[in-house]
């Protein structure tokens, strides 16, 4: 799974964290998820959560800046894990 993307500052796009491999290893599913975006980016709405994937719609960002978004999940079995994704903002 890639964890670095380039985004245009005017784009409104969905970004997904795919937890399927790890969840298969531990035999669990996602119960809840939170996505944290830094100042400069905007999380549009709540994240969408499936059994194995979390998707967040994101807007904004300043050209030539990089941002770290963090997705934290809690599984049905009570495990907690966190993954990061990096966005670099460039005119496209």
pLDDT in tens, the chain (92 residues): 469 999 999 999 999 999 999 999 999 999 999 999 999 999 999 999 999 999 999 999 999 999 999 999 999 999 999 999 999 999 98
86, β-bridge pairs: 4, 68
* Distances, alpha carbon 61 to alpha carbons 9, 14, 25, 29, 42, in Å: 5, 14, 35, 32, 8
User: pTM here?
Assistant: 0.93
The domains found in the chain, sorted by start residue, are 4-89 (2.60.40)
């Amino acid at each position: 799974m890639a964890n670095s993307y380039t985004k245009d500052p005017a784009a409104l796009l969905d970004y997904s964290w795919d937890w399927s491999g790890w969840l298969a290893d531990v035999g669990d599913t996602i119960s809840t998820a939170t996505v944290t975006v830094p100042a400069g980016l905007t999380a549009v709405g709540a994240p969408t959560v499936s059994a194995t994937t979390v998707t967040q719609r994101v807007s904004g960002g300043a050209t030539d800046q990089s941002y770290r978004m963090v997705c934290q999940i809690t599984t049905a079995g009570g495990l907690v894990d966190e993954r990061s994704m990096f966005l670099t903002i460039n005119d496209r």
